Structures are given as C-alpha cells and as structure tokens.
Chain A
Amino acid sequence: AQSVTQLDSQVPVFEEAPVELRCNYSSSVSVYLFWYVQYPNQGLQLLLKYLSGSTLVKGINGFEAEFNKSQTSFHLRKPSVHISDTAEYFCAVLGSGGYQKVTFGIGTKLQVIP
C-alpha cells in the first residue's frame, strides 16, 4: 500500500515569487508520482508525472518537480508564480507492478497574493 503526505495545507505567496509545495510518500514498491491541479469549480487535471528516467520532470504552466528516492519526496516548484496559479494542488502516488490504485494527498491550497 502507498500513502502520500502533503506537508502544507495552505501556502500563501506573493506574485512573481518562487514557490515549493512539498510532498512525501511511502511505499513498499517502486512508484510513479504525479501532481494534479484543481482550479476553483473545476475537476483535477494532470500537471506533471514521474514514471522513470530523469528525476527532474517538467510540467505545464512552468511547474517542475524533482523525484528524490532517498528522501521519498516529490516536491513541486515554480520559480515565479502568477495570480492564475491560485488553485489546489494534489500529489498522488501509484505503485508500479501489478494492479495498484492511485492514492492522493490531502491537497495544498496555493494562494497567490497580488
């Protein structure tokens, strides 16, 4: 079984400042990792994913995340945020091999302040 911990429930940040949203996971098998974004009154959409290969993955809207196996982390970063990035961000994990279900973290609300 897998679990995901998003360490911050809310992150306020000023416009054009950098941001990091933290995610840690636990799993007894190798994992695939994902970040989803939920804009107000919308469903979730995939921001980026790590399946294998380079540990630094780039996603849409200028976001990137780094997979760190030794620290079991997959933190999401953006060097300069915009007002339009205000949303809730969900980290998710999927165990590789056999059938596994996607497990989501509880979400981090990013509030970009003008």
Chain B
Amino acid sequence: DSGVTQTPKHLITATGQRVTLRCSPRSGDLSVYWYQQSLDQGLQFLIQYYNGEERAKGNILERFSAQQFPDLHSELNLSSLELGDSALYFCASSVASGNTGELFFGEGSRLTVL
C-alpha cells in the first residue's frame, strides 16, 4: 500500500460527458502528479501541483483540468470525453517539489469512454 488513494477505481461513461477523478496523497506529501497510461502511448505526464499551486504541465489537453485543494487532495476533471480518453489515470505524490524523483503511485482510475 503506497498510501496514495484514488477514486473511483473504475468509471464507464459516454462520449461528451464529464468526469472527476480524485486523489488523496500520502500523509505529509505536498506534491501531486497526474499521469495517463494508455496502451499506445505509455505513461504520459499530465500535470503536477505543489502545495496547492500548479508546478509543471505536460501533455494535458485543454479539455482536462486539475486542482489541488488546501487539504492537499487533488482532482482531475476530464470534459467533452472522447473514445481516445479511455485510459488508466494515475495519481502520484512525493514529499518535495519533485527533485527526489521518488514518486508514490495510487492504484489508478480506469476510465472507459463508450
């Protein structure tokens, strides 16, 4: 158990819909990262937050947004969903802003868009 909690574990929805994925980092971790894992593109970095502020942005679509709340949990919002958004979405956390390199991953939220 990494200490990172993600909900929901599975989600099935239709194209055009909007979903919210939630992540609670390990106790004491200030950084939260979101990754998308798909069969054809591997593990893609989406976005990172550190202590409530956006720290780095990766290959995140404009239809996607995220935030980190004062209690340090984070939400990833995916809107106008397309079939290609079906993937496993991972949240990871770390103590510092990223320079330790050691990330603790949740078990992921599997999104299926029909």
Contacts and interface: CB of A to CB of B under 8 A. Distances in A.
Interface of A: 32, 34, 36, 41-46, 49, 51, 90, 92, 94, 96, 99-107
Contact of B102 (A46, A103, A107): A46
Contact of B42 (A41, A99, A102, A106): A106
A113 to B, nearest CB: 22
Contacts, number: 62
A97 to B, nearest CB: 8
Interface string B31-74: 00101000001110100100000011010000000000000000
Interface residues of B, number: 25
A100 B33 CA distance: 13
Contacts of A101: 45, 48, 56, 58, 98
